[in-house]
Amino acid sequence: MLNFDEKRFLAIQSGAVATAGELDAIVGAALKAGAPNIFFLGTGGAAILMQPAVDLLRARSSFPVFGGHTAELLAAGSANLKQGSLVILPSLSGTTKESVAFVELAKERGAEVVSLVGHADTPLGRDADHAIVNFAADDTSSESFYVQSLFAALSVMKHRGEIDNYDALVAEIQHLPRELLRLKKAVEPKAEDYAKVIAGSDWHIVCGAGNVWYEAFYYGMCILEEMQWIRTRPIHAGDFFHGTLELVEKGVSVILMKGEGPNRALAERVEAFVPKVGGSLTILDTEDYPTEGLSAEARELLAPAFLATMLERISAHLEVMRDHPLTTRRYYRRVEY
Please tell me the total count of domains within the chain.
2
User: DSSP assignment, residue 294?
Assistant: -
CATH number at residue 13: 3.40.50.10490
Which residue range(s) make up the domain with 18? Answer: 6-173
C-alpha to C-alpha distances, 279 to 47, 254, 265, nearest whole angstrom: 31, 7, 19
pLDDT of residue 337: 85
Same domain membership, residue 168 and residue 31: yes
User: DSSP assignment, residue 72?
Assistant: H
pLDDT of residue 34: 98
Same domain membership, residue 200 and residue 139: no
Q: Which of 107, 103, 57 is nearest to 82 (CA)?
A: 107
What is the arrangement of strands in the sheet containing 38-40, beginning at the earlier edge strand?
A: 65-67, 38-40, 86-91, 112-117, 130-133
SS3 assignment for 233-278: EEEECCCHHHCHHHHCCCCCEEEEEECCCCCHHHHHHHHHHHHHHC
Q: Is residue 237 part of a domain?
A: yes
Per-block average pLDDT, block size 10, for the chain (337 residues)? Answer: 97 98 98 98 97 98 96 96 98 96 96 98 98 96 98 98 98 98 98 98 97 98 98 98 98 98 97 98 98 97 98 98 97 90
Same domain membership, residue 207 and residue 152: no
Q: Is residue 330 part of a domain?
A: no
Q: Is residue 336 part of a domain?
A: no
C-alpha to C-alpha distances, 146 to 25, 51, 160, nearest whole angstrom: 19, 9, 22
Same domain membership, residue 151 and residue 10: yes
Burial 93-107 (b: 16+ CB within 10 A, else e): bbebebbbebbebbe
Q: Is residue 331 part of a domain?
A: no
pLDDT of residue 282: 98
Name the domain boundary from 173, 195, 214. 173
- The answer to whether the beta carbons of residues 63 and 163 sit under 8 Å apart is no
- The answer to whether the beta carbons of residues 144 and 13 sit under 8 Å apart is yes
Kind plus residue range of the DSSP H or E element containing 86:
strand 86-91
Q: Which of 154, 167, 127 is nearest to 31 (CA)?
A: 154
Same domain membership, residue 206 and residue 111: no
pLDDT of residue 69: 93
Same domain membership, residue 168 and residue 20: yes
Residue 199: count other Cβ atoms within 10 Å of its Cβ: 15
Whole-model pTM?
0.97
- The answer to whether the beta carbons of residues 38 and 31 sit under 8 Å apart is no
Question: Phi, psi (5° rounding) for residue 85?
Answer: -55, 140
Same domain membership, residue 182 and residue 67: no
Q: Is residue 334 part of a domain?
A: no
Q: Is residue 327 part of a domain?
A: no
Same domain membership, residue 216 and residue 159: no
Q: Is residue 102 part of a domain?
A: yes
Same domain membership, residue 11 and residue 103: yes
Question: Phi, psi (5° rounding) for residue 63?
Answer: -75, 135
Q: Is residue 186 part of a domain?
A: yes
- The answer to whether the beta carbons of residues 264 and 209 sit under 8 Å apart is yes
